[in-house]
Amino acid sequence: MPTPGTQRVAIRIEEDLWERFGEAAHPNRSTVLREFIRWYLTEPGTKRPTRPLRDYHDAPDLPE
């Protein structure tokens, strides 16, 4: 349920990427996205969100 006073914003993202993000984001996607945006905008007192440990066996190959 949205926090009172906040608006919903739609973004386009690949379904697989959104699902994997949902599995990794703690406590949830919305919280992680808000933390990232606040950090990205260099709001006072913000820290870069913590990334989960990556399981390279299940992750897609990345370009070198």
Distance CA 36, CA 50 (A): 9
Count of structural domains, the chain: 1
Tokens 């006072």: give the residue.
44
Q: Is residue 3 part of a domain?
A: no
pLDDT, averaged across the chain: 85
Which of the pair, 35 or 55, is modelled with greater confidence?
35
**What value does the mean pLDDT take over residues 30-39?**
95
Q: Is residue 53 part of a domain?
A: no
Instruction: Determine phi and psi for 25, rounding to 5 degrees.
Output: -75, 125
Q: What is the extent of the structural domain holding 30?
A: 12-44
Q: Is residue 58 part of a domain?
A: no
Distance CA 61, CA 37 (A): 27
pLDDT at 57 exceeding the cut of 70: no
Answer yes or no: are the C-beta atoms of 46 and 38 closer than 8 Å: yes
Q: Is residue 52 part of a domain?
A: no
Q: Is residue 27 part of a domain?
A: yes
Q: Is residue 23 part of a domain?
A: yes
Mark out the alpha helices in 1-64 (DSSP H runs): 15-24, 29-40
